[in-house]
Structure 1
Amino acid sequence: MQLSTRKYQILNRDNYFKVLFLATLLISLSFGQVVSAQAPNADLLVKQGVESYKTGNYSSAVKYWQSAIKEYKNNPSATAVVNENLGRAYQKLGEDKAAIASLSAAIRDYGAVKDIKQVGRVQTELAQVYSSLGQPRKAIALVCGKVASQEVVQVECTPESAAQIATKYDDADGKVAALGVLGDAYRLIGNYDRAIHYLEEAKKAAPTNFLVLNSLGNAYRNRAQLLDLRANSAKQIRLSTKVEDFNQKSQADYNQARNYFQESIKFARQQKESLAEMRGLLNLIQLASQTTETKIVDDATFNNSLADALKTLEDLPDSTTKVYGAIDLAYLQRNQASPLIGCTTELVLPENQSLSLLQKSVLTSNNLQDNRLQSYANGALGHFWECRKDNSKALTYTQNAIVAADNKLGAKDSLYLWEWQAGRILNKQNKNKAAIESYQRAYETLEDIRQDILTAKRDVQFDFRDVVEPLYRTLAQSRLELLQSGVITQKERPNQLSKVVQTIDSLKLAELQNYFGNDCVLSALNPKQVDELLEDKNNSAAYKNTVFLSSIILDGKTGILLQSANKETKFKWIEDVNQEGTDKIVSSDKLKTKIAEFRKGLIGGREQVNYDTMTAAELYDWMIRPFIQDGDISPDKIKTLVFLQDGFLRSVPMAALYDREQQKYLVETYAIATTPSLRITTPKPRRSKQKALILGLTKSATIDGKNFEELFAVQREVDAVKKQFPNHTDLIDDNFIPDNFRQKLQQTTYPIVHIASHAQFGVIPEDTFIVTGNNKKITISELENSLQNLNSPSGSVELLAITACQTAVGDDRSTLGLAGVALQVGVKSAIASLWSVGDASTSKLVEEFYQNYRQEGMSIAQALQKAQIKMINAKKLPESEGMNIDYDNPAYWAPMIVIGNWI
């Protein structure tokens, strides 16, 4: 999507009622049935409102109709019609809250006079407003009464829902509208199969309805984009048969989308509906720009559609579609970039033509006096001048956009874009403080609406990496560079660093939320910010002797923030302490290369007789030694390091960094843990219960065409865990299937769940699963559903252990699966492997860990630390310990990490 989720919801807000009900401009006919001789003044007010509405003077229409309602007083037959049309006028003005209030009042009034058929129609219209506001679940509740999951095949809507009312009263038009709005709402929550189902039903009832056809095109296009995402994920995890399958299905859906857009355009032309024709043309053109490689839309069709769109745009009446259409065409590219974030030189139209379209969009938005339209039009024109480096013009239009967006707080969804844009322009003018203030406002606005935009359609509607992530990183980097410049006083530094921490923490939460596509992972989010948590006396025991190290990867360099309870936050750029000269900062690219080298060396380290610690020592010098030298993490006082990693650093087992001076691995000095955010990690001592559910797979398996090898050492690992927990239940091989797993969890509470099997953490959650017996799998969603007893505090899982897992190659987001799986299912702590170590070493490490874990007073991080240290000392131990001398190699012990609660 090119501008923002909200903008496209508005542009595609197909008003089914205009075509199907003919209510909007024939309002006076309705009033002819309800006005009474006792209210002649009200009758006049209504007619004046109708005339104002027809001429596009919606503010005036609202004033007349509000006065009419007062005149009608206790006449619900009359106020129902007035409120219904007031709702439409408010929508035209972009005042959605007022529209909701008026439509809700109309529903109440129609109900009072037992006009149930109209109750259903207005419920559908109200649902459409909610859908456009990014609240599709509310829309579905109004139209159907219940929201279906992806798996449900058949859904029976409730009797009081709009869909059922239309069926009961044989309201054909109402039924098509209900199905159309229902289909669009399901599309917005990412359930494309169900969206297509409802829209196809609407098409059967109204084959030439261009609005339904346009919505079907959008649904098929969105499903194709999701299939593209799945194909890319399958490619990275080497599921070649799935890649081909997803690609074929994607192509079929894109073709279907093209066909529906073309049909929509054809029927809109036949019915002389120019606004709908324009929407269809824009959708077809955008489809072409999104599928340039596969040529879903051939060049001739693209060029003809573009010419038609430009011609149609000229003749359109002033409208939302005209404004957004002009912006879309001005910034049209033959690729999927986000033009209002970065600058592009690949616009389809000549620069002077793009400028003319943008200028006309501003004039049209001013004529309509719609704040949201004025905001986008001015912001888009401001960005045009930003890219042409005319900072004066760019700032003028951008500030106009901010004023329009901020009017009545009606366009927060665009406000953050323009505040961010203003920040970039101010930065180019060397007004650093003003730029940061603008970035901060953009960040705060985005925080308010982040949940809606990140969870609505994470796969299509909102490109997190194009929009949210760069803003957060830009703000953090600007603040940090300002701190380094010496402009900030020593007194102001703690407050500035606190804001940097807050920004970084929000980024990590947003990434997690966007990855999973819902807000379940944030259900236990602490309302306090990180620095407030560290100052909270109630947490003093949990944070005692513990330091938190947050990494942040920025443009060209990487920083680390150090925090501990009741102490000042410290910050350092990662530097090469052994390099001579002044420019010691390690570039982010160089760090990424070194991290990849370190990880590759560890994974292949078992082939070496003696592990080469050179890279591990270099990284230690860059990332840890500066804090040691400053006394911030003195081993005398600090016992545990908790890492909150960013990007490619998530895949690094920090325990294996090497101190060449002390000739020790980092884990020999400190217990190590990791968490995405302190705000979703509750550090609490575990309970004393020691009951375990042990699940294991020793056999080979084939999942989605991918082969998973036998795990010969799993039986030994399972036996070791059984030995530590006599009070256990085990499900091995053919007994370890999803149904049995769910059944056991429903019957009994297990504080410890240990899974010894292949576990894959994919680029997207759909490819994140645990391999079970009989060639089956438990997806992360199924795992979450199986652990429903977590809602009961007495039944929560304290520790989830997943061994022998493997992560996807080439995408650092896949490691969010490791951190997120525990948080998603609500467990307090997790032990997991950063890569597969199918060896007897795993069973030995697990056995040692659980022996330590069972000791009173030992934290989870310390239990793993002690087990890893024992393996490091393998060559020094007596033979009676049964420790293979090769296990001192970090390849065997480093991949295992603690996630979440570390105490």
Structure 2
Amino acid sequence: MKRLIQFILMTLLGLILSRGLQALPSAADQHLAISDQHSALSNQHSALSTQHSALSTQHSAISNSEQNATVSKTQQQPASTKPYLLLKTGKDYYDAGQYSKAAGKLQQAAQAYQATGDILNQVQALCLLSLANQQLGELAQAQAAIDSSLLLLETLSRGGEGVWAQVLNTKGRLQLLQGKADAALETWKDAEVRYAKANDSLGVLGSQINQAQAMQYLGLYGRAKTLLTEVKQTLLAQQDCSVKAIGLYNLGNVLREGGNLEESKQTLETLTESCTVEPGIKSPESQSQALLSLGNTEGALAKRAKDRNNDKEFQEHIQEAITHYQQAAATTTSPITKIQAQLNHLNLLIIKKKEDKQQDKQQDKQQDKQQDKMAQYLCQQIQTLLTKLPLSRASVYAQVNFAQTLILIRNGELRTQIPRQIRNSQYIVQLLTTAIKQGQTLEDQRAESYGLGILGHCFEETKDWSNAIKFTKLALWIAQEINAPDIAYQWQWQIGRILKAQAQQATTTSNSDTKAVTELIDYAIAYYTQASNTL
């Protein structure tokens, strides 16, 4: 009896974990997977403005003046080994989501700048190298790059405030990844001071937004909200339209992550309006990114309404989110943004269909038919677009997210509306296998772990327990190797869930082996406990 109670408690723990922080889309939960999980498809997803500051506003690493400072020492070198070209190539790889290649080029750039004695540019190369390693989950290498940057900066007698700020901003990001939110908060305060000395208004605002996120991690919600309110007022008064746009975008995302959904919606609506009227912001891509983020916030509002059993608000927010996703897909010039919007749209249709069935709602037949046709259209569009994406982490995530969505469709109300060749297990496994191989090609173990884990889930859904356990354990091993507890706990929980299902299935057979069932229960409890400890 004691073991049975233990098992029930661990099952409940599993349910709790499944509703916890989701670093990856979890098909089993069938939740509103439309916020930051799916935004892994876009390199604009981070509320941390580190990437914007380090990769966009800190362009001095390859500016003409600094190139001129080193050209006399590099003019005899082949073009492919000139430091500023190595740095530019590394940045381009980073922007394209090819983080392993980026790390290689940035390491070469840092070494090349060291040879020329150009400390500031060497520091910038190391700073970007840290960001690339952070993306790859190589936190020890990321730390080493930051430590080297700081040591080099300490040798400077004066100047370099903007570079100091950039390094501190990146250090804060690493500290947050390491679970050191209190240290990250202090680091970002220092970064804000340095950005102010460098007269970098975007850097100041970005550091403040980062501080608010660290406060949210620490449970300091009141302080975070006060700071974000001040940031918003500053942004609205900004004359520099590009600063205003990036700031409002990041602010809207952070407000959503902190649960301030109405404020997030209002902020992003302000941004979308600015994208259509202000010349400095007006662009199809800026507008589509803003609409995509706004759709994510409407989706989060829909989820909250669903949790509160408010069907009227749920339906309203679902429809608003769908409208924004359609607008984002129609205006974007980026294939990856289009896929993201369409995937989120498709997920909403699945959730709406399921919710309507649970509520036993009598749908208008014409409207129901239109939704089914839209789901079919979206599946075919996504399938076609996936074949045209350049290789990157984003393309790997897109394939895995689509496979996960197809698993939901295969087991849900829309299965009869989607062509069999798209939703069958063979295609889903093929899609995931391709994604895993691409992750390996990119040397991106985080993406590889993600693909393997969802492949394990795919086999779980077909009750192929052997393959389900095998691939999920591989995903877990990789996640632990790269020190990624945010995804490791999900695979630990998934293994526990699979073992529990095996035990339940075994008890229904006439010749069930009591000892074997007991062992399965023991193992399930062990993995649920590991997931709890990891989380």
Q: Which bracket does the TM-score occupy, shorter chain normalised?
A: 0.5 to 0.7
Matching residue of 1:402: 476
CA apart distance, 1:66: 4.2
Aligned 8 A contact 1:224 1:249 in 2: yes
Please tell me whether residue 278 in structure 1 is matched to residue 339 in structure 2.
Answer: yes
Match of 2:443 in 1: 369
After superposition, where does 1:777-796 map in structure 2 within 5 Å? none
Is 1:254 aligned to 2:322, yes or no? no
Deviations 1:816-854 (A, max 9, x none): xxxxxxxxxxxxxxxxxxxxxxxxxxxxxxxxxxxxxxx
User: How far apart in 1 are the matches of 2:379 and 2:54?
Assistant: 31
Report Cα offsets for 1:420-454 as digits up to 9, x if no partner: 444565674948658745752552343332xxxxx
2:129 equivalent among 72, 76, 86: 86
1:81 Cα deviation from its structure 2 partner: 3.4
CA distance in 2, matches of 1:351, 1:183: 38
Q: Per-residue CA shift, 1:585-626, capped at 9, x if unaligned?
A: xxxxxxxxxxxxxxxxxxxxxxxxxxxxxxxxxxxxxxxxxx
Whether contact under 8 Å (1:394, 1:425) holds in the other structure is: yes
User: What letter matches 2:265 in structure 1?
Assistant: I
Q: Name the structure with the higher strand share.
A: 1
Aligned partner of 1:448: which letter? T
Q: Does residue 12 of structure 1 match 2:39?
A: yes
Cα displacement (A) at 1:219 = 0.5
Q: The residue matched to 2:329 in structure 1 has which SS?
A: helix
Matches within 5 A, 1:453-492: none
CA distance 1:335–1:54, shift in 2 (3 Å):
closer
TM-score, normalised to structure 1's length? 0.40
Distance 1:219 1:129 in 2: 27
C-alpha contact (below 8 Å) 1:281/1:305 kept by paired residues: yes
Q: Cα–Cα, structure 1 residues 177 and 363, in superposed 2: closer, same or farther, change >3 Å? A: same
Q: 1:301 and 1:334, CA in 2 relative to 1: closer, same or farther beyond 3 A?
A: farther
Question: Are 1:446 and 2:532 matched, yes or no?
Answer: yes
In structure 2, distance between residues paired with 1:118 and 1:163: 27
List aligned pairs for 1:736-751, cutoff 5 A.
none
Are the counterparts in 2 of residues 65 and 86 from structure 1 also a CA contact under 8 Å?
Answer: no
Percent sequence identity is 18
Counterparts of 1:128 and 1:5, CA distance in 2: 19
* Structure with the higher helix share, 1 or 2: 2
Contact 1:382 1:397 in 2 (8 A): yes
User: Could you tell me which residue of structure 2 aligns to residue 415 of structure 1?
Assistant: 488
Write the letter of the residue equivalent to 1:82.
A
With normalisation by structure 2, the TM-score equals 0.63
Aligned equivalents of 1:142, 1:129: Cα separation in 2: 16
Residue 326 (structure 1) aligned to one of 393, 399, 415: 399
Q: What SS is found at the alignment partner of 2:242?
A: helix
Measured in 2, the distance between the counterparts of 1:132 and 1:255 equals 38
Paired residue for 1:190, among 248, 259, 263? Answer: 259
Gaps of 5+ in 1: 233-245, 450-903
Higher deviation after alignment, 275-284 or 25-34: 25-34
| Residues 1:86 and 1:21: Cα distance change in structure 2 (over 3 Å) | same
CA distance in 1, matches of 2:235, 2:144: 21
* Distance in 2 separating the partners of 1:83 and 1:158: 34
What does residue 382 of structure 1 align with? 456
Q: 1:393 aligns with which of 463, 467, 471?
A: 467
Given the alignment, which residue of 209, 214, 223 partners 1:143? Answer: 209
Q: Work out which of the residue numbers 371, 374, 390 in structure 2 matches 1:317.
A: 390
Identify the residue that residue 197 of structure 2 maps to in structure 1. none
- Greater RCO (Cα-Cα under 8 Å, separation 6 or more): 2
Shift in CA distance, 405/229, structure 1 to aligned 2, threshold 3 Å: same
Counterpart amino acid of residue 208 in structure 2: L
CA distance in 1, matches of 2:82, 2:461: 52
Please state whether the residue corresponding to 1:281 is helix, strand or coil. helix
Mapped contact 1:323–1:361 kept (Cα < 8 A): yes
Change (3 A) 1:31 1:186: same
Q: 1:123 to 1:423 in 2, by over 3 A?
A: closer
Within the candidate set 204, 211, 219, 2:273 is matched to 204
Tell me: CA distance 1:39–1:5, structure 2 relative to 1, closer, same or farther (3 Å). Answer: farther
C-alpha root-mean-square deviation of aligned residues, in Å?
5.0
> How far apart, in 2, do the equivalents of 1:158 and 1:318 lie?
39
Query: Which of the residues 303, 314, 322 maps onto 1:225?
Result: 303
Could you give the per-residue CA deviations for residues 231-279 of structure 1, whole angstroms, max 9, x where no partner exists? Answer: x2xxxxxxxxxxxxx44333332222111111111121xx2x1111111
Contact 2:325-2:342 within 8 A present in 1 as well: yes
* Aligned residue runs from structure 1 range 86-235, under 5 A: 86-95=129-138, 113=159, 142-143=208-209, 170-207=239-276, 208=284, 209=286, 210-230=288-308, 232=309
1:92 and 1:226 map into 2 onto residues whose CA distance is 31
Q: Is the 8 A contact 1:217 1:260 kept in 2?
A: yes
Corresponding residue for 1:302?
375
Q: What does residue 280 of structure 2 align with? A: none
Contact 1:144 1:157 in 2 (8 A): no
Distance 1:103 1:259, change over 3 A: farther
How far 1:144 sits from its partner (Å)? 7.3
| 2:396–2:438 contact (8 Å) kept in structure 1 | yes
